[in-house]
A and B are shown apart, each in its own frame.
Chain A
């Protein structure tokens, strides 16, 4: 067992984990953040995407011990005061989800895309999301949502650092 200290959604968590524990299993089973879901375990689908120190990672591809001393933000940490994050609101407004299983990872990845490219072209959005599979929507409304979010956030005061929101 190894002790890790990880700040998850703003709260410091100190836990003993086996060194082989994946970050996603730590988040789901120890911290209880089941909003982050597992789709493939092989880093193909992106359903488990979270932010590690503000950048998106597939949490099935990171060891919990690698997050020791770092900050993790999950889908459950981007609307801390009950108001939806602009990206969540854009997904809602644009019907960018159906079953909802890929949605947490998709939103976390979309936030990262905009952090890097605040005013992306459609192609930049599609390329930015290519690591996140969706079987329901055909991506159409997801791309629309991300574009809509980009325009709403391109106001000079709008926060683009989703993970800090």
Chain B
């Protein structure tokens, strides 16, 4: 390809770069110059992750043709700090915990800089408007706005009140997130930033049909393209199926494609453009077959079968065997009490059906992985995952390798939310690496994300509730249908865990709950933040508002009457030891009462939610370094700052500072085993094992010191990297001295903790335009029972982020299909995420006090419960504002005007 040489100034340095005419400025920065602090999120100017300052203005570098940058002055995130001294905006982002995954952060920081260069004292509205081109999926923007306000004040030279500043590394303190400085400077290496010598790039050949037989695949023309190294189809791979729950999914389609975007072949070439061109030249002949796209239709007898001629599938990573009944891959019914009798004696019965759309995790970082062959015939993989050990298991299964020959390194995840649990990108790059003998990288495009990741299941939920005239709930029946898509993935577990929660956090003495996961000819759906619960809570909490109307009661009173109280049991089996749920409820209802929605077309909506936080056997590795500082290694990935919380607990127990502790995760070759990181389980379980480990390590050091000081271990205490005599702290031995001749370290494993339970109550105030159906979110409040907040800044981050994801789910987010099963909205232009300008500051109330059943310090979980009731609360607000009920999410302007 003809090239030209570009001359420009980047971060103050004059550069000459050979480029091709099709290069964008983003390509120049990332691919030609290795400045990978600038991120690629969508490639079409919608997400803002690639924001740079271009002659002083914030622009999406993916929209600037390279040639247009001739002579330009470009500042990237790498150019902002002064050596290791952060720019005030970067420092403010760290101080205000205005970042979580860190993938949008470089662009966000530069967008903020462009604003503050222009407007030194912006209002909150001006900040939100200026940042509305930069999508963040984690934070919900509240802390970002605060960081920009803080930076503005610093840059104006104002002296600030006590900021977060340096704090003691103790439980309950807002300790700085591990890795925050790397994230605000663009130095964090995500999987898609990895560059190995001789690395090839991969592209996938995808099905254009929802259902078709593959008649032939011809690769000659593609292989003849200069630079193409390998093309693999199912015929080149072992005939193996795998999956999270059941083993029903091949890595490349075998004989038949089951959704538009299904993986048919995969190509490796010297660069990404060549790989894509080769993928286009692979000739696949299909014989289209009838497809079934609606979950209700698929559940009916006589529908086209997604897996014809198959009775069931063996277990996958979690060993769940599937027995198929038509397209139903999972069915369950539970009955508790005499439901029919209760319905017979009820004063009021309400029976309604609710529908929810598939919601995408929409992490700003797309799926990405790099694989490199190893000398022993195995493969090493660097990937963006929440489940490195499941990736290892999946790759080993798909490629027929022992786990000892598969090494998985979990890179920083640029947003995950459950979307980075399933195993599909890694086996493809691993197979290509083994075929070519070269490292191979694959990064999904935004279109691929929307067509072939694992979003939240669409559901159809019928709810029937029986109540007494005074509002006492008597019985409920639920029928829960989840659209699994072409493979089971996590959907049977979505059904199973949702059915357990059909009472909502209320007293419902009689319950019949049944549900099914149903195959359709669409992408498979997977785990997404509190799988099943936002959908179920939308149905249950809409139902509560409707029931109140039918009873002629205030919906808040109906809830208050039935909410679980002190001494009652949740469905997890946990007994409430305080009135924590009522405290959450009261906190929110009081805020509502103080700000009545008096204006026309304006209303509050409220919803209550809950989440069961499971226990798992956990392990951790701790060792004392030669100078007495400590290293911690865990096998869970650092989701949402969990690693910081785990480290904080260890530092607290050992009486050391965060700078005296290094914490790392996770390399499957060296880290202790851990299950997937998700379900709000990591902090609950891992802080427990880490604390136990720290205690044991301290005991060992005390024992050694006691010998040296001729005292008893029980007379010793640890502080300041020393073991001291309690009654005379001047008598001490340093950790360093204690390990000088004999290393000290432990691997600890603790059995699974019992499950614990979290509640969240959200309220949202909206105004709805009667002309356009447009919804404005005026206020959003969250009260969340998280046990002990180990790091309150991070707990708030989860609350804000979870609530805003729920607002998106309620108002804008929906993966739509055309009549042929193609995803109709294949980019962030059409799949609309909440922006900073769409949402208000999220008001967070951390409700502590109710401790978990754990024997530790009583933390629970926060990521999932923060999301659970948000969709329902916002939906109740919209329906109250328009005075009509909408039974299907999202509550788009079309549905609002049509209601």
Interface membership of chain B positions 100-118, coded 1 if the CB is closer than 8 angstroms to chain A and 0 otherwise: 0000000000000000000
The answer to whether the Cβ of B437 comes within 8 Å of any Cβ in the partner chain is yes
Given contacts A1-B5, A1-B18, contact A33 B198 (CB under 8 A): yes
Q: In the complex, A76 Cα to B199 Cα: how many Å?
A: 13
Given contacts A1-B5, A82-B437, contact A12 B198 (CB under 8 A): no
The answer to whether the Cβ of B659 comes within 8 Å of any Cβ in the partner chain is no
A32 touches B18 (CB 8 A): no
The answer to whether the Cβ of B3 comes within 8 Å of any Cβ in the partner chain is yes
Q: In the complex, A139 Cα to B480 Cα: how many Å?
A: 73
| Closest Cβ neighbor of A34 among chain B residues | B197
Closest beta carbon of chain B to A6's beta carbon, Å: 13
Interface membership of chain B positions 166-187, coded 1 if the CB is closer than 8 angstroms to chain A and 0 otherwise: 0000000000000000000000
Inside 8 A of A16's CB, which chain B residues have their CB? 3, 5, 18
Given contacts A1-B5, A1-B18, A16-B18, contact A34 B198 (CB under 8 A): yes
The answer to whether the Cβ of B227 comes within 8 Å of any Cβ in the partner chain is yes
The answer to whether the Cβ of B730 comes within 8 Å of any Cβ in the partner chain is no
A28 contacts which of B18, B197, B227, B437 (Cβ < 8 Å)? B197
A32 touches B5 (CB 8 A): no
Q: In the complex, A12 Cα to B437 Cα: how many Å?
A: 18
The answer to whether the Cβ of A11 comes within 8 Å of any Cβ in the partner chain is yes
The answer to whether the Cβ of B226 comes within 8 Å of any Cβ in the partner chain is yes
Q: In the complex, A30 Cα to B622 Cα: how many Å?
A: 42
A31 contacts which of B3, B5, B18, B198 (Cβ < 8 Å)? B198
| Closest Cβ neighbor of B229 among chain A residues | A11
Interface membership of chain B positions 1-32, coded 1 if the CB is closer than 8 angstroms to chain A and 0 otherwise: 00101000000000000100000000000000
Inside 8 A of B437's CB, which chain A residues have their CB? 76, 82
Q: In the complex, A64 Cα to B690 Cα: how many Å?
A: 55
Inside 8 A of B3's CB, which chain A residues have their CB? 1, 3, 16
Q: In the complex, A11 Cα to B227 Cα: how many Å?
A: 7
Q: In the complex, A28 Cα to B18 Cα: how many Å?
A: 18
Inside 8 A of A32's CB, which chain B residues have their CB? 197-199
| Closest Cβ neighbor of B227 among chain A residues | A11
| Closest Cβ neighbor of B16 among chain A residues | A1
Inside 8 A of B18's CB, which chain A residues have their CB? 1, 16
Interface membership of chain B positions 270-310, coded 1 if the CB is closer than 8 angstroms to chain A and 0 otherwise: 10000000000000000000000000000000000000000
Closest beta carbon of chain A to B363's beta carbon, Å: 29
| Closest Cβ neighbor of A76 among chain B residues | B198
Inside 8 A of A12's CB, which chain B residues have their CB? 226
Interface size class of A (residues with CB under 8 A): 10 to 19
Interface membership of chain B positions 835-854, coded 1 if the CB is closer than 8 angstroms to chain A and 0 otherwise: 00000000000000000000
Closest beta carbon of chain B to A83's beta carbon, Å: 11
Closest beta carbon of chain A to B277's beta carbon, Å: 16
Inside 8 A of A34's CB, which chain B residues have their CB? 197-198
Interface membership of chain B positions 658-680, coded 1 if the CB is closer than 8 angstroms to chain A and 0 otherwise: 00000000000000000000000
Interface membership of chain A positions 123-135, coded 1 if the CB is closer than 8 angstroms to chain B and 0 otherwise: 0000000000000
Closest beta carbon of chain A to B434's beta carbon, Å: 9
Q: In the complex, A11 Cα to B230 Cα: how many Å?
A: 13
Inside 8 A of A1's CB, which chain B residues have their CB? 3, 5, 18
Q: Chain B's interface: helix, strand, loop or mixed, by majority?
A: loop
Inside 8 A of B199's CB, which chain A residues have their CB? 32
Q: In the complex, A28 Cα to B197 Cα: how many Å?
A: 8
Inside 8 A of B197's CB, which chain A residues have their CB? 28, 32-34
Closest beta carbon of chain B to A69's beta carbon, Å: 16
| Closest Cβ neighbor of A81 among chain B residues | B437
Q: In the complex, A1 Cα to B270 Cα: how many Å?
A: 21
Q: In the complex, A124 Cα to B3 Cα: how many Å?
A: 48
| Closest Cβ neighbor of B19 among chain A residues | A16
| Closest Cβ neighbor of A3 among chain B residues | B3
| Closest Cβ neighbor of A33 among chain B residues | B198
Interface membership of chain A positions 72-88, coded 1 if the CB is closer than 8 angstroms to chain B and 0 otherwise: 00001000001000000
Q: In the complex, A28 Cα to B198 Cα: how many Å?
A: 8
Q: In the complex, A34 Cα to B437 Cα: how many Å?
A: 13
Could you tell me which residues of chain B, from 165 to 222, have a CB within 8 Å of some CB in chain A? 197-199
Q: In the complex, A32 Cα to B441 Cα: how many Å?
A: 14
Q: In the complex, A148 Cα to B18 Cα: how many Å?
A: 48
Closest beta carbon of chain A to B571's beta carbon, Å: 55
Could you tell me which residues of chain A, from 11 to 42, have a CB within 8 Å of some CB in chain B? 11-12, 16, 28, 31-34
| Closest Cβ neighbor of B226 among chain A residues | A12
Inside 8 A of B270's CB, which chain A residues have their CB? 11
Inside 8 A of B227's CB, which chain A residues have their CB? 11
Closest beta carbon of chain B to A53's beta carbon, Å: 20
Q: In the complex, A76 Cα to B270 Cα: how many Å?
A: 15
Q: In the complex, A5 Cα to B100 Cα: how many Å?
A: 46
Inside 8 A of B5's CB, which chain A residues have their CB? 1, 16
Q: In the complex, A28 Cα to B437 Cα: how many Å?
A: 17
Closest beta carbon of chain B to A33's beta carbon, Å: 6
Closest beta carbon of chain B to A74's beta carbon, Å: 10
Q: In the complex, A8 Cα to B38 Cα: how many Å?
A: 32
| Closest Cβ neighbor of A31 among chain B residues | B198
Q: In the complex, A82 Cα to B197 Cα: how many Å?
A: 19
Closest beta carbon of chain A to B66's beta carbon, Å: 14
Inside 8 A of A33's CB, which chain B residues have their CB? 197-198
Inside 8 A of B226's CB, which chain A residues have their CB? 11-12
Q: In the complex, A151 Cα to B270 Cα: how many Å?
A: 38
Q: In the complex, A12 Cα to B227 Cα: how many Å?
A: 8
Q: In the complex, A12 Cα to B270 Cα: how many Å?
A: 11
Closest beta carbon of chain A to B229's beta carbon, Å: 8
Closest beta carbon of chain B to A1's beta carbon, Å: 6
| Closest Cβ neighbor of B199 among chain A residues | A32
Residue among A11, A32, A82 with most chain B CB within 10 A? A32
Q: In the complex, A28 Cα to B196 Cα: how many Å?
A: 11
Q: In the complex, A45 Cα to B834 Cα: how many Å?
A: 60
Inside 8 A of A28's CB, which chain B residues have their CB? 197
Closest beta carbon of chain A to B271's beta carbon, Å: 11
Closest beta carbon of chain A to B603's beta carbon, Å: 61
Q: In the complex, A12 Cα to B3 Cα: how many Å?
A: 17
Q: In the complex, A12 Cα to B224 Cα: how many Å?
A: 12
| Closest Cβ neighbor of A80 among chain B residues | B437
Could you tell me which residues of chain A, from 101 to 125, have a CB within 8 Å of some CB in chain B? none
| Closest Cβ neighbor of A12 among chain B residues | B226
Closest beta carbon of chain A to B783's beta carbon, Å: 55
Closest beta carbon of chain B to A76's beta carbon, Å: 7
Interface membership of chain B positions 256-282, coded 1 if the CB is closer than 8 angstroms to chain A and 0 otherwise: 000000000000001000000000000
| Closest Cβ neighbor of B437 among chain A residues | A82
| Closest Cβ neighbor of B196 among chain A residues | A32
Q: In the complex, A34 Cα to B199 Cα: how many Å?
A: 11
Could you tell me which residues of chain A, from 28 to 68, have a CB within 8 Å of some CB in chain B? 28, 31-34
Interface membership of chain B positions 417-445, coded 1 if the CB is closer than 8 angstroms to chain A and 0 otherwise: 00000000000000000000100000000
Closest beta carbon of chain B to A26's beta carbon, Å: 13
Interface membership of chain B positions 223-251, coded 1 if the CB is closer than 8 angstroms to chain A and 0 otherwise: 00011000000000000000000000000
Closest beta carbon of chain B to A132's beta carbon, Å: 22
Closest beta carbon of chain B to A34's beta carbon, Å: 4
Q: In the complex, A31 Cα to B270 Cα: how many Å?
A: 9
Inside 8 A of A82's CB, which chain B residues have their CB? 437
Closest beta carbon of chain B to A114's beta carbon, Å: 24
Closest beta carbon of chain A to B441's beta carbon, Å: 12
Closest beta carbon of chain B to A4's beta carbon, Å: 12
Closest beta carbon of chain A to B197's beta carbon, Å: 4
Closest beta carbon of chain A to B672's beta carbon, Å: 31
Would you give 10 A-B contacts (Cβ < 8 Å), ordered by A? Answer: A1-B5, A11-B226, A11-B227, A11-B270, A16-B5, A31-B198, A32-B199, A33-B197, A34-B198, A76-B437
Besides A16-B18, A32-B199, A34-B198, 18 new A-B residue pairs in contact (Cβ under 8 A), listed by A number: A1-B3, A1-B5, A1-B18, A3-B3, A11-B227, A11-B270, A12-B226, A16-B3, A16-B5, A28-B197, A31-B198, A32-B197, A32-B198, A33-B198, A34-B197, A76-B198, A76-B437, A82-B437
Listed in ascending order, the chain A residues whose CB lies under 8 Å from chain B are: 1, 3, 11-12, 16, 28, 31-34, 76, 82
Task: Sort A-B residue pairs by CB-CB distance and give the 5 closest, nearest first.
Answer: A32-B198, A34-B197, A16-B18, A32-B197, A16-B3
